[in-house]
């Protein structure tokens, strides 16, 4: 137990910081949120999904076109059912549209 605590609180943060990794930021977030109620965690997850959808729509023409083809804007996606209306991305579409997706 002591070894684990020392490793987690001293050595891992040191090496993560030393390597200038973003891992420390995410690690601290996980430590901070690991005991939150499931409902709170699900809400945080849903907020992050919405951030990603807005980013993809606003910054990438490929994804904007995909949303527009099905008549959905990121702000329309409020539930999992709304999310399921988005078309599934296939390997073939990725192969054909790699440059537009970047």
pLDDT in tens, 38-73: 999 999 999 999 999 999 999 999 999 999 999 999
Helix (H) or strand (E) holding 55: helix 38-59
Q: Are 85 and 72 in contact (CB under 8 A)?
A: yes
> Distance (Å, rounded) from C-alpha 92 to C-alpha 74?
24
The mean pLDDT value for 76-91 works out to 91
Q: What are the tokens at 75? A: 């702000």
Query: Is residue 22 pLDDT above 80, yes or no?
Result: no
Distance of CA 42 to the CA centre of its chain: 13
CB atoms within 10 A of CB 76: 12
């Amino acid at each position: 137990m002591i070894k684990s605590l020392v490793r987690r609180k001293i050595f891992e943060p040191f090496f993560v910081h030393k390597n200038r990794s973003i891992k420390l930021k995410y690690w601290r977030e996980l430590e901070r949120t690991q005991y939150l109620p499931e409902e709170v965690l699900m809400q945080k997850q849903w907020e992050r999904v919405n951030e990603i959808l807005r980013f993809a729509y606003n910054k990438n023409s490929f994804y904007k076109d995909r949303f527009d083809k099905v008549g959905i804007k990121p702000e329309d996606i409020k539930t999992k059912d709304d999310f399921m209306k988005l078309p599934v991305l296939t390997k073939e579409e990725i192969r054909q549209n790699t440059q537009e997706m970047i």
